[in-house]
A and B are shown apart, each in its own frame.
Chain A
């Protein structure tokens, strides 16, 4: 099968792939590129587990076509740590036990990264509503809020 040739930047690396017109970006990332950090919880934009950042916009990759990513810049959870150096949010999620089964976790981390990039000093309410597009069922909401608050303090001081 021929496909659509797409050229993107993923986590800073220029990445080219072929995909079918009806393939979502989430499926491209997971099945073609082996980047399985973004998860599929619903496939219809209702849970946020597939969250990635596309050209500085936090999006659900299950509702983006692979073909739409042409020329765009993609950030996934796999790009958050630098080598062994975890991102502050990752560090704080660990410390605050803000994860359990781990399916929602990459989406939460990416969404929290986007949130803090736009609002470095969010109130608790802004965090709770800002991250309301990411469902967690285990559920770590309370601890996730504490982790993001703590990360915000560290990141502001950095």
Chain B
């Protein structure tokens, strides 16, 4: 890590919203990994320069369903620079690894190259060559022949059927169908979201190197220990023999949490040729090499009285999964908790289609779920003639309607109030098509969002070194969300040292272990662990100062001492005042080290392994007496060209409750990032399927449209959170996923207000409005 080598040169004090020092927890400290990133000095995983590096390139299936009949590798093998061509027949045999719950699989082999094809773009072969260009050229010469069988294209395919009922997703109370039938006002509509892709700017890839039976993998990773477990199980080596290195991650959004088949191919290739191998997916390969967000379909029916008070919600959801994998996108997650209703029913099926198994993408479940319920309640608002904001307040859930528990904190009412005030919602003209500017129809929409507070146990090492500087170590990661920075702030505040004297080391599985960085849990978990480790280190330091005969404080016979700004003194300010470095020197110590973990006291080594390498020990967000969620309200203005049907988002005000913010400057970035991704989801993003080939054809960044800077207006975010002691050690809730939830329905609602057209299928492209 070189992140502290360049001085930032800006004031560390001031610039804090609540009077907090920038470098304390809650302060607006600038990103400590920023200098390395803005100078180009930060070396990402696949940028390691290794001796003897060879390059692997994947060959993918061109059919969606069938069997590989034969693979002719002769031309590729004869191509210049080629070291090896890997096929299902020639790649080394691996063992099937456990899943992310840690479920042990049957003892059977695993081949990351497919003979049985279940989707277009599946890895069937790989070429390893001296240079990347040679590998690319040779990969084009691998000739694969197939026996093709009919494929199931997507949810609308006649062969898809109703799918598999996922009973664990069923949530019911009261008698929802009867209450719906009896309700004076009834609305019912279907909402669809397409396949969407995380599209992190850094494509997936890795470098794998074997030294004997020890494997080092440089790979962008949201979960080093989980991925190390998978590699270890695949190759049947001890967990400790696998080292994952991931110092910076170029965005993940859920897609970089698991070891994937391309990783198995690269590590196998490295083992087979006895050299380090680099494999980076091309951008088109990233659309089929792993799963994006599953396409979903929901039906939402709401029965209400004429005042808009909800009597019943009946919700049915379906999402795609793959032929041989299982992905459940929990579509009833927001539906079941956002509004108070005496009667409720939600059920979900999944349908197998010939696709790569879908995966986690920013707020899996909550995101499409919110599109359904937050559109539906808007429809209800117009049906009963009540302001869309007012109807949300009228149905405000004072407790978790599903778990029947008190909210730990729910600042959603405050979010509605703050957002509406700032946006000027009271000036809204209620009728659709009643606001315009020339050819532009103007619409204002509102929607709420939420995401559960996922909690887990964490571990960190804090070291005070001889020069008084501090090291924090953890195998957790920073993919841009600010982990380096908030952990430096946590250690600095706890120990009483300047943040500039703290070096945070992340992204190496040799460090103290960490669970997944997903579900917005990492900040809460890791600030808690670092706080605990730093507290322990501080206790040791003060203990030495008080009790060691060589300490200048020994003679004081004090009970306690104060450490501030890197110096130790007595609470009253009398007596000696020495730096941490001077104290350590005087007592003859070159370091103090403490490991802190938040695991239950009686945890076994097996518990720890399970905690860090699976998600099986994650704590339910409704554990104990409380239900824990983050909340937000988005107020969005759109302008729709009445001739062209083009929608432009012209203003966004969002008020968000993420509890206490460890660093508002960086949390705001995460929120805005989620909002912008939500704008893309609402207006642009869609995997477009060739139904004859079962293949996504817009698999590049020119045709899979993500927003550009020109698509984004001024975005204002307002924090309405308060510290939530039930959600994390330091009072924060989730940040990263929250911002995107509710953006798409807020835009769809604004489009309805502008045009009078209700678009229930994302994205809202111009032909749907023309």
Hey, which bits of chain A sit against chain B, CB under 8 A? Answer: 20, 22-23, 27, 30-31, 34-44, 46-47, 49, 76-78, 80-81, 84, 86, 90-91, 93-95, 97, 99-106, 109, 127-129, 131-145
A146 to B712, CA, bound (A): 13
**A99 in complex: contacting residue of B34, B131, B714, CB < 8 Å:** B34
| A135–B201 CB distance below 8 A | yes
A114 to B47, CA, bound (A): 26
Residue among A77, A131, A137 with the highest chain B CB neighbour number at 10 A: A137
A101 surroundings in chain B (CB, below 8 A): 200-202, 248-251, 479-480
A141 CB to closest chain B CB, in angstroms?
A: 4
**B672 in complex: contacting residue of A35, A40, A86, A140, CB < 8 Å:** A140
**A43 in complex: contacting residue of B283, B669, B672, CB < 8 Å:** B283
A101-B250, A128-B712, A134-B709 given; 12 more Cβ-contact pairs under 8 Å = A77-B38, A90-B39, A93-B34, A99-B38, A100-B670, A102-B38, A104-B201, A131-B709, A133-B708, A135-B706, A137-B253, A141-B712
| A97–B250 CB distance below 8 A | no
| A91–B202 CB distance below 8 A | no
Q: Which of B7-15, B257-265, B382-390, B544-552 contacts A (4 or more CB under 8 A)?
A: B7-15
**A93 in complex: contacting residue of B38, B672, B712, CB < 8 Å:** B38
Hey, which bits of chain B sit against chain A, CB under 8 A? Answer: 6-10, 30-31, 33-35, 37-44, 47, 49, 131-133, 137, 198-203, 248-251, 253, 280, 282-283, 479-482, 665-666, 668-670, 672-673, 676-677, 700-702, 706-710, 712, 714-715
B665 CB to closest chain A CB, in angstroms?
A: 5
**Interface SS of B by simple majority:** loop
Give the top 5 A-B pairs by smallest Cβ distance, nearest first.
A37-B40, A100-B480, A101-B480, A102-B37, A103-B250
**A22 in complex: contacting residue of B38, B133, B706, B707, CB < 8 Å:** B133
Given A95-B30, A99-B31, A140-B673, A36-B43 contact (CB < 8 Å): yes
- In the complex formed, the residue of A with least CB distance to B666 is A97
A140 surroundings in chain B (CB, below 8 A): 669, 672-673
A47 surroundings in chain B (CB, below 8 A): 201, 701
A103 surroundings in chain B (CB, below 8 A): 44, 200-202, 250-251
A157 to B69, CA, bound (A): 69
A20 to B6, CA, bound (A): 36
| B700–A42 CB distance below 8 A | yes
Given A80-B39, A97-B668, A135-B701 contact (CB < 8 Å): yes
| A102–B480 CB distance below 8 A | yes
Given A78-B39, A94-B34, A131-B709, A142-B481 contact (CB < 8 Å): no
A79 to B560, CA, bound (A): 51
B666 surroundings in chain A (CB, below 8 A): 97
**A44 in complex: contacting residue of B8, B132, B665, B702, CB < 8 Å:** B702
| A97–B30 CB distance below 8 A | yes
| A40–B203 CB distance below 8 A | yes
| A105–B37 CB distance below 8 A | yes
| A106–B710 CB distance below 8 A | no
Residue among B34, B282, B665 with the highest chain A CB neighbour number at 10 A: B34
Residue among A80, A140, A145 with the highest chain B CB neighbour number at 10 A: A140
| B673–A46 CB distance below 8 A | no
B669 surroundings in chain A (CB, below 8 A): 97, 100, 138, 140, 143
A41 CB to closest chain B CB, in angstroms?
A: 5
A133 surroundings in chain B (CB, below 8 A): 708
| A39–B202 CB distance below 8 A | yes
| B40–A36 CB distance below 8 A | yes
A76 surroundings in chain B (CB, below 8 A): 40
A109 surroundings in chain B (CB, below 8 A): 38
| B201–A143 CB distance below 8 A | no
A41 to B279, CA, bound (A): 14
| B672–A94 CB distance below 8 A | no
A23 to B687, CA, bound (A): 31
B30 surroundings in chain A (CB, below 8 A): 94-95, 97
Given A43-B282, A103-B250, A141-B707, A86-B201 contact (CB < 8 Å): no
**B44 in complex: contacting residue of A36, A80, A139, CB < 8 Å:** A36
A30 to B43, CA, bound (A): 11
B673 surroundings in chain A (CB, below 8 A): 100, 137-140
A62 CB to closest chain B CB, in angstroms?
A: 10
| A30–B677 CB distance below 8 A | no
A9 to B119, CA, bound (A): 47
Residue among B38, B44, B669, B677 with the highest chain A CB neighbour number at 10 A: B38
- In the complex formed, the residue of B with least CB distance to A100 is B480
B199 surroundings in chain A (CB, below 8 A): 137
B42 surroundings in chain A (CB, below 8 A): 102
B477 CB to closest chain A CB, in angstroms?
A: 11
B550 CB to closest chain A CB, in angstroms?
A: 38
B694 CB to closest chain A CB, in angstroms?
A: 24
A-B contacts, 23 listed (Cβ < 8 Å): A36-B40, A36-B43, A37-B39, A42-B701, A43-B283, A44-B702, A76-B40, A78-B39, A80-B39, A84-B6, A91-B9, A94-B10, A97-B31, A100-B251, A100-B670, A102-B248, A129-B710, A132-B708, A132-B709, A132-B710, A138-B251, A138-B480, A140-B669
A77 surroundings in chain B (CB, below 8 A): 38-40
A138 to B47, CA, bound (A): 20
| B672–A142 CB distance below 8 A | yes
A30 surroundings in chain B (CB, below 8 A): 47
A36 surroundings in chain B (CB, below 8 A): 40, 43-44, 47
Residue among B7, B282, B283 with the highest chain A CB neighbour number at 10 A: B283
| B676–A141 CB distance below 8 A | yes
B679 CB to closest chain A CB, in angstroms?
A: 9
| B10–A91 CB distance below 8 A | yes
- In the complex formed, the residue of A with least CB distance to B701 is A46
- In the complex formed, the residue of A with least CB distance to B670 is A100
Given A93-B34, A99-B38, A131-B709, A39-B676 contact (CB < 8 Å): no
